[in-house]
Amino acid sequence: MQDYFYALADAITTSLHADEFYTCTFHAEDSDFVRFNRSAIRQAGTVVQRFLALDLIHDRRHAGAEIALSGDFDSDRGRIGELLTELREQLPYLPEDPHLLYATTVHSTVQQGENRLPDRADAVAAVLDAGSGRDLVGIYAAGGIYAGFANALGQRNWFESFTFNCDWSVYYQRDKAVKTSYAGFVWDPTVFMRKVTEAAEQLEVLKRPPHSIPPGRYRVYLAPAALYDILEMLAWSGFGLKDHRTKQTTLLKMVEEGVHLHPAVTLRENTRDGVSPNFQAAGFIRPDQVTLIEAGVFHDCLVSPRSAKEYEVPTNGASIAEAPESVEMAAGDIARDEVLQRLDTGVYINNLWYLNYSDRSACRITGMTRFATFWVEGGVIQAPLSVMRFDESIYRLLGEHLLGLTAERDFILDPSTYHERSTGSSRLPGPLVEQVNFTL
């Protein structure tokens, strides 16, 4: 695949007219998707897709397009040639772009992967076996993910990764379920079965009569997967330079009024330890780390090349969305096996669901508990909790009401498959919080 992309890039280079420049990105995957419901196969199939995005630049004008490729070099080279012609014809009708910025220093990189994925039939059999006698629902996704960058200066970047992500739930009844995932590069049946067994043990607790609580403020432990959902919300316009300069960041009070989070909160975009490509669409290489929040204080924005040009600051290799892709939060000092004891009486939340801002200026987020959420008394799980809605500001949740973070962190591979399998990841502790506002 790497040779195929590089050969296409070379063909583009040789097709350029004088004074023309180009940048192009490539992203492809060959993926198996097997969907399960009630411990049987619902839909099973394979998707092979390849896309190339080309930006043709002449002076300060540029025109871009993305096309699907067939994988046949000769026909794809011909299609790209047609595309170049189309873009060339558009250029005179487009104005100069004052915010155009692309890498002009060549920095080629290669991140190659090794395909050690399990045989698809073996993986499917393992999941069906795990579901035997249970009500299992979810998806097994696996295969290669490929990304590349090329430009007219000869910069070439390549990324490939062969991963699986099995994301499933086992249900007791109605909305009582335990959600689990197993993701990585090498399928270890022992690890998978351990996760299946742990989920089955939690499911036993869900069989107890559910506990209901009235709206009010409660002490809460959020497992790393639940914190992940909260940070996904913050990623939506929290850290981008454009959102900061246009006052649309939901962390505006941190930068305008000096509001702090808890000193234990340090948040970084950690490309070095993530599983995403370290290059972006304009050819810039991402630094190993960008500190977003340091000891509760806002530190740096994510800066795309476009924002860098617009606001006259250096880029730090962010994508156009200026959202974290490999986020990590510093660990705290609460041992994982002391969480129930420290929680004492309150709500143990494994997963959250469907978060959204209810007051952007106050960075107040609403959402639901989901899957295995428990009522805890005296440090002992008592019963599953009926789903509850929370509505709470980040300034309290990770600020004045934060009691601490776990010392252990979970590495979470994003199971998202919108348009393509995600390479996003996060490394997060679990926060213990007091006075969380439950409303419905």
Partner 1 sequence: MDVRLAERFRQAVPPVDFCSLRYVRERSEYLAVRQDVVQPFATSEDSGAMLTVYAGGGMGYAATSDLSLSGLRRAAEQAHDWARLSARQSVLDFAQLIVAPPHGEYGSVERQPWPSVPLSEKIDLLRGECARLKTDDRIVDWETSLWHTAVDTLYLTADGGHVEQRFRYLVPMLSATANAGAETQTRTFSGRGFCRQGGMEILEHVGFRTAAPRIAQEALQLLVAPNCPSGTMDVLLAPDQVILQVHESVGHPLELDRILGDERNYAGTSFVTPDMFGTYRYGSDLLNITFDPTNPEQFVSYGFDDDGQPARREYLIRNGILQRALGGRTSQIRANVPGVANARASSWNRPPIDRMANINLEAGNASLDEMIAAVEHGIYMRTNCSWSIDDSRNKFQFGCEWGQLIEGGRLTAVVKNPNYRGISATFWRSLAMVGNRDTVEIMGTPNCGKGEPNQVMRTGHAAPACLFANVEVFGGE
Virtual torsion, Cα 365, 167, 50, 22, nearest 10 deg? 40
Nearer to partner 1, 349 or 405 (CB): 349
DSSP lists the bridge partners of residue 393 as 364
Reference 391, options 362, 370, 431, 348; nearest CA is 362
Nearer to partner 1, 283 or 429 (CB): 283
Select the span of 10-18, 288-296, 330-338, 385-393 touching partner 1 (CB under 8 A): 385-393
* Torsion 5-8-13-14 (CA) sign: positive
The CB-of-380 to partner 1 minimum distance in angstroms stands at: 27
Indicate which single residue of 118, 138, 296, 429 sits in contact with partner 1 (rule: CB under 8 A): 138
Helix (H, G, I), strand (E, B) or coil at 255: helix
The CB-of-338 to partner 1 minimum distance in angstroms stands at: 30
Rg (CA), the chain: 24
Indicate which single residue of 362, 383, 403, 407 sits in contact with partner 1 (rule: CB under 8 A): 362
Indicate which single residue of 17, 112, 121, 314 sits in contact with partner 1 (rule: CB under 8 A): 121
DSSP states along 131-164: HTTSEEEEEEEEEEEEEEEEETT--EEEEEEEEE
Query: Quick check: 345 binds partner 1 (CB under 8 A)?
Result: no
The CB-of-379 to partner 1 minimum distance in angstroms stands at: 28
E strands, 226-343, are: 267-270, 289-294, 297-298, 326-329
Query: Quick check: 71 binds partner 1 (CB under 8 A)?
Result: yes
- Binding to partner 1 by CB under 8 A, coded x per residue (else -) over 269-288, reads --------------------
**Dist. CA 423–CA 420, nearest whole Å:** 9
Residues 283-342 that bind partner 1 (CB under 8 A): none
Residues 7-66 that bind partner 1 (CB under 8 A): 31, 33, 35, 37-38, 40-51, 55, 62-66
Cβ atoms of 57 and 22 closer than 8 Å:
yes
Nearer to partner 1, 71 or 210 (CB): 71
**Dist. CA 397–CA 230, nearest whole Å:** 10
Indicate which single residue of 8, 80, 117, 137 sits in contact with partner 1 (rule: CB under 8 A): 137
Nearer to partner 1, 322 or 328 (CB): 322
Nearer to partner 1, 393 or 406 (CB): 393
Q: Please name the residue that has the structure tokens 């530190």.
A: 299
The CB-of-253 to partner 1 minimum distance in angstroms stands at: 5
E strands, 227-363, are: 267-270, 289-294, 297-298, 326-329, 346-359
The CB-of-140 to partner 1 minimum distance in angstroms stands at: 10
The CB-of-402 to partner 1 minimum distance in angstroms stands at: 18
229 phi and psi angles, rounded to 5 deg:
-65, -35
Query: Quick check: 194 binds partner 1 (CB under 8 A)?
Result: no
Residues 228-267 that bind partner 1 (CB under 8 A): 246-248, 252-253, 256-257
Nearer to partner 1, 177 or 301 (CB): 177
The CB-of-356 to partner 1 minimum distance in angstroms stands at: 4
Query: Quick check: 358 binds partner 1 (CB under 8 A)?
Result: yes
Instruction: Report in angstroms the alpha-carbon separations of 403 from 18, 121, 147, 335.
Output: 62, 46, 41, 13
**Dist. CA 74–CA 156, nearest whole Å:** 21
Q: Please name the residue that has the structure tokens 């990189």.
A: 109
The CB-of-408 to partner 1 minimum distance in angstroms stands at: 25
Residues 150-179 that bind partner 1 (CB under 8 A): 167-169, 171, 174-175, 177, 179
Nearer to partner 1, 100 or 331 (CB): 100
Q: Which structure tokens are listed for 66?
A: 């993305």
Query: Quick check: 104 binds partner 1 (CB under 8 A)?
Result: no
Binding-residue total with partner 1 (CB under 8 A): 88
Query: Quick check: 389 binds partner 1 (CB under 8 A)?
Result: yes
Cβ atoms of 333 and 208 closer than 8 Å:
no
